[in-house]
C-alpha cells in the first residue's frame, strides 16, 4: 500500500511538473513572437533588401529589428505605422569622433567598452554611442557629450 502511494505521488508530481513546463514554454514562445505590424515589416523590406539574420523585437511603443547587411551589424527602429525612426550601425572605435574618445577616456577611466555605434535619426542627425556595462554614452556628430542613458 505504501509503495502504491509513493508511486501515485511520484506520477502526479511528474505530470504536474510537465504541465507547468508546458505552460511556461507556451508563455515564453508567445512573448517572443510578438505581432510586428505589417507596415513596419514592409518598410524594412523596402529599405534593407538583402538583410540577413533578421530578428524583430518590441521596444516600448516601437519595433526594433536587428540584422546584418553587407557584413555589418545593424538595427532599425520603426513605429507602428512603419515610419523609420532611426538606424544604428556597429562601428569600430576608430570611426568615432576623436573628441568623443577623449571625453570617454577622461571621464570613464578603467571602464571597458562593450560596443560602439553610429546612430542616424530619421531627420539625418548623427549620434555616436559608446556602450558600456549597463549604459550608453551618447555624443553628437562632432564628439560632444550629449547624455548617459540606461542600456
Contact indicator for 81, 47 with CB cutoff of 8 Å: no
Judged against a pLDDT cut of 50, whether residue 110 lies above it is answered with yes
Angstrom distances, CA of residue 34 to CA of 29, 94, 125: 9, 37, 30
Looking at CATH, the fold of the domain delimited by 91-151 is given as Inhibitor of vertebrate lysozyme, Ivy (3.40.1420)
**How many angstroms separate the CA atoms of 2 and 9, rounded?**
11
* Per-residue pLDDT at 151: 77
Q: How confident is the model at residue 4 (pLDDT cuts 50, 70, 90)?
A: low
Q: What is the pLDDT of residues 46-97, one digit of tens each?
A: 999 999 999 999 999 999 999 999 999 999 999 999 999 999 999 999 999 9
Average pLDDT, the chain: 86
Q: What is the pLDDT of residues 25-53, one digit of tens each?
A: 444 444 444 699 999 999 999 999 999 99
In 3-state terms the chain splits into helix, strand, coil percentages (rounded to 5) of 35, 35, 25
* Per-residue pLDDT at 8: 54
Instruction: Report residue 44 as a C-alpha cell.
Output: 524594412
Could you tell me what percent of the chain has a pLDDT over 90? Answer: 76
Angstrom distances, CA of residue 70 to CA of 124, 126, 151: 21, 21, 26
Domain ranges, ordered by start, for the chain: 1-33, 36-89, 91-151
Task: Note the pTM of the prediction, 2 decimals.
Answer: 0.74
Amino acid at each position: 500500500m505504501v509503495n502504491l502511494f509513493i508511486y501515485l505521488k511520484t506520477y502526479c508530481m511528474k505530470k504536474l511538473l510537465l504541465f507547468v513546463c508546458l505552460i511556461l514554454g507556451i508563455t515564453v514562445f508567445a512573448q517572443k513572437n510578438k505581432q510586428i505590424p505589417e507596415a513596419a515589416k514592409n518598410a524594412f523590406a523596402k529599405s534593407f533588401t538583402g538583410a540577413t539574420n533578421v530578428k524583430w523585437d518590441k521596444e516600448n511603443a516601437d519595433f526594433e529589428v536587428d540584422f546584418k547587411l553587407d557584413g555589418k551589424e545593424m538595427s532599425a527602429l520603426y513605429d507602428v505605422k512603419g515610419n523609420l525612426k532611426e538606424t544604428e550601425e556597429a562601428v569600430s572605435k576608430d570611426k568615432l569622433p576623436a573628441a568623443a574618445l577623449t571625453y570617454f577616456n577622461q571621464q570613464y577611466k578603467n571602464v571597458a567598452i562593450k560596443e560602439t555605434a553610429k546612430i542616424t535619426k530619421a531627420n539625418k542627425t548623427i549620434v555616436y554611442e559608446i556602450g558600456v556595462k549597463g549604459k550608453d554614452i551618447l555624443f553628437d556628430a562632432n564628439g560632444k557629450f550629449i547624455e548617459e542613458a540606461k542600456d
